[in-house]
């Protein structure tokens, strides 16, 4: 899994690099609204260049985005709930679209739903979620209704897909599932138009930033989201931090997480 993820993020980094080269050389006609669709990368038969794929994915996303945000998010949620683009669609109990304020300044992004989330259809409602709520409240003075919370994949990745009722059946999403689901998160971001994203844990950080470094090297610093959803020069800022589940396993990580959240607070208060 780690090896595959490393390769997909390396592909993504190469992809973004080519986009940069293309846009700085001759793509001035591009509107600047671009989305990456790494699922297209897997299709060997597709002859488009990566930059053309980004451009087309961006156009597609914008075409499906209808203001006002609430209506468009409801339409997107309906689409996600009916989605079977990867095998997780066959085993989930509920697709977990996201929760919170669709005009939030900050979007928190986790890895994927677990047992509790699959049952409730809401992200971060298990033990990790309770800790996330506590962090939001104590450090930021915010409720989950004030921010937006979503995941890289919208359906529960299970070790045994036949047993959605079993505990201890969670696993991380695989690269195919991530590729299939990824466009939904970008469409959510286009609608919400946040000032920043907080990636929770290694998987969300690697996927969104297209890097291979682990979370301990990435956290505590602001990064630019490598996809220009709102045109060149307006990158969404990304702050990686530890996943709350990691804090439950190792409470030594709390201090650094608190520092990260203070950085977030200062940024939101600017």
- The footprint of ligand SF4 (CB under 6 A) covers 80, 83-86, 88-89, 95, 153-155, 177, 180-181
- At a CB cut-off of 8 Å and minimum separation 6, what does 233 contact? none
- The C-alpha atoms of residue 199 and residue 105 are separated, in whole angstroms, by 14
Q: Based on CB atoms, which residue is closest to ligand SF4, 54 or 158?
A: 158
Q: E-strand spans in the chain? A: 99-100, 106-110, 148-151, 196-200, 223-224, 237-241
Alpha helical stretches, state H, 65-172: 69-81, 88-91, 115-120, 127-135
Q: Based on CB atoms, which residue is closest to ligand URA, 50 or 129?
A: 129
Work out whether strand 196-200 and strand 237-241 pair parallel, antiparallel, or are unpaired: parallel
Shortest separation between residue 168's beta carbon and ligand URA, angstroms: 14
List residues binding ligand URA (CB under 6 A): 110-114, 117, 123-124, 126, 128-129, 151
> 177 touches which of ligand SF4, ligand URA, none (CB within 5 to 8 A by kind)?
ligand SF4
- At a CB cut-off of 8 Å and minimum separation 6, what does 3 contact? none
Q: Which residue is nearest to ligand URA (CB)?
A: 110
> 80 touches which of ligand SF4, ligand URA, none (CB within 5 to 8 A by kind)?
ligand SF4
- The C-alpha atoms of residue 169 and residue 152 are separated, in whole angstroms, by 18
> 39 touches which of ligand SF4, ligand URA, none (CB within 5 to 8 A by kind)?
none
> 175 touches which of ligand SF4, ligand URA, none (CB within 5 to 8 A by kind)?
none
Cross-strand pairs, 170: 158
Q: Based on CB atoms, which residue is closest to ligand URA, 109 or 192?
A: 109
Task: Give yes or no for a contact between 94 and 121, defined as CB atoms under 8 angstroms apart.
Answer: yes
- The C-alpha atoms of residue 103 and residue 110 are separated, in whole angstroms, by 19
Shortest separation between residue 155's beta carbon and ligand SF4, angstroms: 3
Q: Based on CB atoms, which residue is closest to ligand URA, 58 or 129?
A: 129
Angle at 201 between CA 156 and CA 240, to 5 degrees: 135
> 2 touches which of ligand URA, ligand SF4, none (CB within 5 to 8 A by kind)?
none
Shortest separation between residue 136's beta carbon and ligand URA, angstroms: 14
- The C-alpha atoms of residue 77 and residue 266 are separated, in whole angstroms, by 32
> 117 touches which of ligand URA, ligand SF4, none (CB within 5 to 8 A by kind)?
ligand URA
Shortest separation between residue 11's beta carbon and ligand SF4, angstroms: 18
């Amino acid at each position: 899994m780690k090896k595959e993820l490393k390769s997909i993020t390396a592909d993504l980094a190469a992809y973004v690099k080519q986009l940069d080269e293309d846009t700085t050389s001759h793509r001035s006609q591009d509107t600047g609204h671009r989305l990456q669709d790494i699922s297209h990368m897997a299709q060997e038969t597709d002859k488009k260049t990566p930059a053309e794929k980004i451009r087309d994915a961006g156009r597609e996303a914008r075409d499906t985005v209808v203001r006002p945000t609430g209506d468009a998010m409801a339409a997107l949620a309906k689409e996600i709930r009916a989605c079977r683009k990867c095998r997780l669609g066959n085993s989930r109990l509920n697709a977990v679209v996201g929760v919170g304020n669709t005009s939030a300044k900050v979007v928190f992004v986790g890895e994927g739903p677990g047992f509790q989330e699959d049952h409730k259809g809401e992200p971060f409602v298990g033990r990790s979620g309770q800790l996330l709520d506590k962090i939001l409240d104590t450090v930021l003075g915010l409720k989950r209704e004030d921010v937006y919370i979503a995941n890289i994949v919208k359906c529960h990745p299970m070790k045994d897909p036949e047993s959605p009722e079993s505990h201890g059946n969670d696993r991380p999403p695989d690269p195919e599932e991530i590729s299939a689901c990824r466009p939904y998160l970008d469409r959510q971001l286009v609608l919400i138009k946040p000032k920043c994203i907080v990636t929770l844990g290694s998987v969300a950080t690697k996927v969104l930033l297209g890097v291979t470094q682990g979370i301990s090297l990435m956290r505590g610093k602001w990064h630019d989201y490598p996809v220009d959803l709102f045109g060149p020069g307006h990158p969404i800022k990304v702050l990686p931090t530890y996943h709350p589940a990691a804090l439950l396993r190792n409470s030594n990580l709390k201090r650094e997480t608190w520092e990260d959240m203070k950085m977030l607070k200062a940024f939101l208060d600017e």
